[in-house]
Chains A and B, each alone.
Chain A
Amino acid sequence: METYVRTIKYEKELDRSFTKEILSIPGCEGLTNCIQCGTCSGTCPVSIYMDYPPRRIIAMVREGFKDEVLSSKTIWLCASCYACTVECPQNIKITDIMYALKRIAMRERRYPKGFPIPILAKAFFDIVSNKGRQTESKLVMNVWLKISLLKILKNSLFGLKLLRKGKLHFKEEKIKDRESLKLLLEEVKK
């Protein structure tokens, strides 16, 4: 027998506390001013790849579609180019809302499995938190090791090309006062 899946949600299945949380984040307070004009989706250079374009994401956040929003690829595809934020006639900081959604998805480990963008973000975060600076070669290796060894092989010639031109080096970059950086990061996380 065929099973039928309901494709719309009942009010009680929505998570209004999710909407409230987003509204309380600095930069996200404009959310409720959205007029659904679609300027954001129109200006977005990657909306053609998204499962939900920005206009729909905004509408879904406002109504509390937490699961759909947090597991969407959209929030990770956002390249943070700020075109939507500049063009939005309601001055909604859409890019900042996307960042807030990324952070909640990271916190709740809801991002799509094996998706490289959250892996890059985490690897970047870890290196900078420890060393204070980024070493590009190390970052790339850390990310590729987590995604696939094949990628390292596939890109080895590319890496050599960069190495030969002095665009890639393996010297680790770090700041001197790592102690105070650690104190600072601990203090603001409290």
Chain B
Amino acid sequence: MRENRKYFYYPGCSLKGTSLAYEKSLLAVFKYLGFEAPELPDWNCCGATSYMSIDEMSAFSLAVRNLAIAEKEKRDIVAPCSACYMVLNKAKKYVEEYEGVKDVIFKGLEKIGLKEHFKGDVKVRHPLDIFINEIGIENIKAKIKRKLNGVRVFSYYGCLLVRPFTDFDNPRYPTMLDNLVSATGAETIESALKTKCCGGSLTGTLENVGLRLSYLILKEAKRKGAHLIVTVCPLCQFNLEAYQDRMEKIFHDKLGIPVIFFTQILGVAFEIDGKELGFNHSLIYPDILYQKALV
């Protein structure tokens, strides 16, 4: 373990696009907690799941370029998008485990002057891991100004944060997000669907397949009486929130369930201004979090 770990924030493409609310709330919460993580200089797209479907070595090299830039400055990476988190960790693991991959990637890094900076020491962590294991739940509890008692939350983990590379939670039955959400005073519901796939990019490509997967999650939240869903991933948040009116028509069900980022609910508990938390981007506003009765 390196002493005094320092971090770079790796936004990935979604946090600069559809999920600006995630970026805003994450940075606001980091600032409030005094956690420093400047943006990774000249970061590039991790390659997501699409790049891997075209060319393996290009996909690994894209991811590793980011790792090498971070390692050059002796910093670790905080990746809030579950897909980025998985892809960056996967590239690191494959370079470590497969000689053939390592040789090709190092040849590429050498060409752009990053080879000598990359040994593979860099860690890629998710902010959830940072909150729980770096900052600590007790420290977070101590900074909470507004208890969210009475709010029922479905803490939804989705796929790629917990599968297949998590080193801080149980991939079959994760609890870290529930623990963090509970720290705000909110109540979390139990559900076997908390790691079930939301449909990922299928919602955009094969709508009838993707929407049904997303609907299952929303139906579960509704059935169990959750006021809102809390997510850790930009794509999960988008799928679950943006298509609700379509799902209402297709599945003849009334939804209207707010779906927010876990950094947003933390921010509310810290009494950070709603605009700083990106609630102006919400399609379904989480009124429940601001009800006077809670105070």
Q: Which residues of A are interface residues toward B (Cβ below 8 A)? A: 25-27, 45-46, 49, 77, 79-83, 85-86, 93, 95, 99-100, 102-103, 106, 116-118, 120-122, 124-125, 128-129, 132-137, 140, 143, 158, 161-162, 165-169, 173, 175-177, 180-181, 183-185, 187-190
Chain A residue nearest to B99 (CB atoms) is A26
B147 to nearest A CB, angstroms?
A: 29
CA distance A103 to B60 in the complex (A): 14
Within 8 Å CB of B61, what residues of A?
Answer: 184-185, 188
Nearest to A126 among chain B residues (CB) is B54
Which of the residues A25, A83, A134, A168 comes within 8 Å of B56, measured between beta carbons? A25
Nearest CB of B to A179, in Å: 9
- Chain B at the A interface: mostly helix, strand, loop or mixed? helix
Contact A77 B108 (CB under 8 A): no
Q: Which of B16-24, B178-186, B249-257, B262-270 has 4 or more CB atoms under 8 Å from chain A?
A: B16-24
Question: Chain A's nearest CB lies how many Å from the CB of B279?
Answer: 10
A173-B16 contact given A140-B204, A181-B44, CB 8 Å threshold:
yes
* A81→B159 contact, CB < 8 A: yes
Take A82-B163, A175-B42 as given contacts and tell me if A125 and B50 are in contact as well, using a CB distance cutoff of 8 Å: yes
B53 close to A165 (CB less than 8 A): no
- List residues of chain A with CB within 8 A of the CB of B197: 45-46, 79, 81, 83
Asked whether, in the complex, the Cβ of A187 is within 8 Å of the Cβ of B108, the reply is yes
Whether B54 contacts A121 by the Cβ 8 Å rule is yes
Q: Which residues of A contact B97 (CB under 8 A)?
A: 26
Q: Which residues of A contact B16 (CB under 8 A)?
A: 133, 173
Interface residues of B in 183-233 (CB under 8 A from A): 195-197, 199-202, 204-206, 209, 213
Cα of A118 to Cα of B43 in the assembled complex, Å: 26
B120 an interface residue at 8 Å Cβ cutoff?
no
The verdict on B65 contacting chain A, using a C-beta distance below 8 Å, is yes
With both beta carbons as reference points, the residue of chain B lying nearest to A127 in the complex is identified as B45
Contact of A166 among B50, B65, B281 (CB under 8 A): B281
Given A116-B205, A168-B18, decide whether A86 and B164 contact each other with a Cβ distance below 8 A: yes
Q: Indicate whether B51 reaches chain A with its CB closer than 8 angstroms.
A: yes
Would you mind naming 22 contact pairs between A and B with Cβ atoms under 8 Å apart? A26-B98, A80-B159, A81-B163, A86-B171, A99-B52, A103-B53, A117-B201, A120-B201, A121-B53, A121-B54, A124-B48, A132-B45, A143-B204, A161-B283, A162-B242, A166-B281, A175-B44, A176-B42, A183-B111, A185-B108, A188-B60, A188-B107
Give chain B nearest CB distance to A106 CB in angstroms: 6
User: What is the CB-to-nearest-CB distance from B205 to chain A, in angstroms, rounded to a whole number?
Assistant: 4
Q: For B201, what are the chain A residues with a Cβ–Cβ distance below 8 Å?
A: 79, 117, 120
A103 in contact with B55 given A120-B201, A128-B62, A176-B42 (CB within 8 Å): yes
Which has the most chain A C-beta neighbours within 10 Å: B61, B172, B206? B206
Give the docked Cα–Cα distance between A124 and B17 (Å).
15
Partner of B58, one of A93, A136, A189: A189
Query: A46-B202, A120-B205 are contacts. A82–B56 as well, Cβ < 8 Å?
Result: no
**A26 touching B17 by the CB < 8 A rule?**
no
B58 to chain A, nearest CB (A): 5
* A147 CB, min distance to chain B CBs, angstroms: 9
B100 touches A49 (CB 8 A): no
Within 8 Å by CB of A117, from B107, B206, B280, lies B206
Task: Identify the interface centre among A128, A173, A175: most chain B CB within 10 Å of its CB.
Answer: A128
CB distance from B10 to the nearest CB of A (A): 12
A161 to B263, CA, bound (A): 23
- Are B65 and A181 in contact, with the CB atoms below 8 A? yes
Please report the C-alpha to C-alpha distance between residue A86 and residue B266 in the assembled complex, in whole angstroms. Answer: 30
Q: A26-B98, A183-B112 are in contact. Are A117 and B54 (CB under 8 A)?
A: no
